[in-house]
Amino acid sequence: ICYFSAGSYENWRPDRDDFKSDMYGKAMEGWEGEYWLDIRKQTVKDVMIKRLDMAQQKGCDGVEPDNVDGYINDTGLPLTATEQLSYNRFLAQEAHTRGLSIGLKNDLDQLAELVADFDWLLNEECVEFNECQKLTTFINADKAVFGV
């Protein structure tokens, strides 16, 4: 499984020069050098397509896109739940086009809407954040749920 951030610009990644300042908003609290992406922009989607192509070329079986819940965070961008759904579905479709499985991470408020689009779910610290019950959406759909 290949990890990449689909919702943030990270100034240490090899493809950092593919991002322009109009493609991201506020810095992510607690993560130096990381900024929320404007997921509405085609230029952001184009970079994600390149990242998915790289995952396929490296022989990954699936991908774990991180930070796909900007609409509920203080991004400095007016992102909506509808725009987030559209972006997350875009990621899933592009992954599947490349024969990659894709896991959903972070966007627990939209699990019911996204369960059909994603192959599995990854959750960090559901006990600590009292989120474990939400994960049953994927379990009830006979999809794997990984807790880390």
d(CA 77, CA 60) in angstroms, rounded, equals 32
Helix (H) or strand (E) holding 137, with range, is helix 136-140
The pLDDT assigned to 24 comes to: 96
Tally of residues, the chain: 148
Residue 148, pLDDT score: 84
Query: Do 35 and 28 meet the contact criterion of CB atoms below 8 Å apart?
Result: yes
pTM more than 0.85: yes
Rounded-to-integer distance, Cα 14 and Cα 80, Å: 29
d(CA 132, CA 66): 19
pLDDT at 140 over 90: yes
> What's the pLDDT score for residue 103?
98
pLDDT of amino acid 17 = 95
What is the pLDDT, as a whole number, of residue 16?
94
How much is the pLDDT for 38?
Answer: 98
28-80 per-position pLDDT tens digit: 999 999 999 999 999 999 999 999 999 999 999 999 999 999 999 999 999 99
Q: Minimal CA–CA distance to 54: which of 63, 45, 67, 43?
A: 63
pLDDT of residue 94: 98
CA distance 122 to 6: 15
**pLDDT (average), residues 16-31:** 94
pLDDT, average across residues 90-95: 98
Indicate if the pLDDT at residue 127 is higher than 80: no
